[in-house]
Amino acid sequence: MLPHSWESIVRFKPREFDDPRFPGSGVYIDARLVLLLDKLAITTNYRIIMHRQSGGCVDMRGDHGHSRFSYHRYDMGCKAGDFHMLDEHYRPLTINLRHQFNLVCQVGFPCVIVYPWWNNPGFHVDVRPFDRANYMHSPGFQTYNPLFP
End-to-end CA distance of the chain: 34
Q: What is the pLDDT of residue 110?
A: 97
Q: Which residues pair with 145 in a beta bridge?
A: 137
Q: How many Cα atoms sit within 13 Å of 83 on the Cβ side?
A: 27
Q: What is the CATH number of the domain that holds 21?
A: 3.30.1380
Digit-coded pLDDT (tens) for 68-97 = 999 999 999 999 999 999 999 999 999 999
Sheet holding 122-126, edge to edge: 47-50, 80-86, 122-126, 111-115, 134-140, 143-146
Q: Is the pLDDT of residue 2 over 90?
A: no
Looking at residue 147, the DSSP 8-state letter turns out to be: S
Q: How many domains does the chain have?
A: 1
Residue type, 25: S
Q: Look at residue 5 in the predicted model and tell me its pLDDT.
A: 85
- Rounded to two decimals, what is the model's pTM? 0.95
pLDDT score of 80: 98
Structural domain boundaries, residue 103: 3-146
What is the reported pLDDT for 1? 78
In this predicted structure, what is the pLDDT of residue 123? 98
DSSP 121: -
Give the pLDDT of residue 92: 96
With beta carbons less than 8 A apart as the criterion, state whether 73 and 79 touch: no
Q: What is the pLDDT of residue 132?
A: 93
Q: What is the mean pLDDT of residues 57-78?
A: 95
pLDDT (tens digit, 9 = 90+) per residue, 94-114? 999 999 999 999 999 999 999
Cβ atoms of 2 and 31 within 8 Å: the answer is yes
3-state class of 38 per DSSP?
helix
